[in-house]
Structure 1
Amino acid sequence: MDAGLVVLILLIIAAVVVALVYNRLVALRQTTRQAWGDIDVQLKQRHDLVPNLVETVKGYATHEKETLEKVVQARQQAVDASGLKDQAQAENLLSGALRQLFALAESYPDLKANTNFLALQNELADLENKIAAARRFFNNAVAEYNTAIEQFPAVLLAGPFGFKREDFFEVAASERARVEAAPSVKF
């Protein structure tokens, strides 16, 4: 066999491998971006719901201005956040402020019985479940993408083609501690 033909065949094989690896990385990056888009949609819905919730609570808890202001400020920070880390941090603050708001509602029986408040609370709980599911999907996509760009032979191509590690959408340490400190059930 001619040496030129062997080199040509090896170059074709190398080009096919490069194309396959590149296309896989592009697909994984797109999956990660789509997963972030899914989270973003859910977060925007939550941001839209918060003002209605605050207005409903205002009517019952007029002297709880500080808590309501914290919720409004946290929502605005979440709306204004850019970048994954800033967004995650702002959303964790908003989650904490909303928890305070619902804790406050426990002190107002009329508010707890208000159908509008209950509907908003249920809608928010549903959104929180959707956000959690979207976050799990996103973090799984990020893990798969990050793993792919670190594996051979993709590691040789990732840097030169601009593929960079993605950050996870993480729960704040305070939120994690709250989950880990679940109440115990005793009979």
Structure 2
Amino acid sequence: MQIIWTKANKISKYIKTTVNNTFPHILECPCCKARIKLYRHGYYYRNVIYYKKEYQIKICRYYCRSCKKTTSLIPSFLLPYFQHSRPLILKELNKIFSKLPTRLSRQQAAFYKARFLRNMNALIVALREKQQLYGISRDENKKAIQLLKYLTPPPRETTLKGHYDQIINNFMALSF
């Protein structure tokens, strides 16, 4: 299981203070919903492509003594299961839908575009449920650009609560 950590917005600050970060105390297991404190369970390395640089960062893990599963705390500048950072994916998607040249390969651009288009309806429903989206264009490219504007700011602390918040945080997920 992976939880988006909204306090970590900048990669440079996260890399400098990875082990010394003040990680939150998680008092409920996201897997089994047991109301017990999860214990820090070390780190694992993850590759990140952030604009023109590549990093290998440590991701904090937690362990639940009830269900014996681990949970990872993913910084908000990342998307689960993607090496490219959230700001880079948003910027490149904006270029793709604006029909501008991108840094991505043709295959990668096609993959990101198809995944975003497939999840667009769920994103619209989530934004409308949170009362952040009212009118939307009928043109597919304009609709996508309009949705990307709502996703551009990093997630806030309130984005860890419900199902719609998970859709907004992980807009490139395989399925909801």
TM-score computed with the length of structure 1 as normaliser:
0.22
Greater per-residue helix proportion: 1
TM-score computed with the length of structure 2 as normaliser:
0.23
- Between Structure 1 and Structure 2, whose CA radius of gyration is higher? 1
Greater per-residue strand proportion: 2
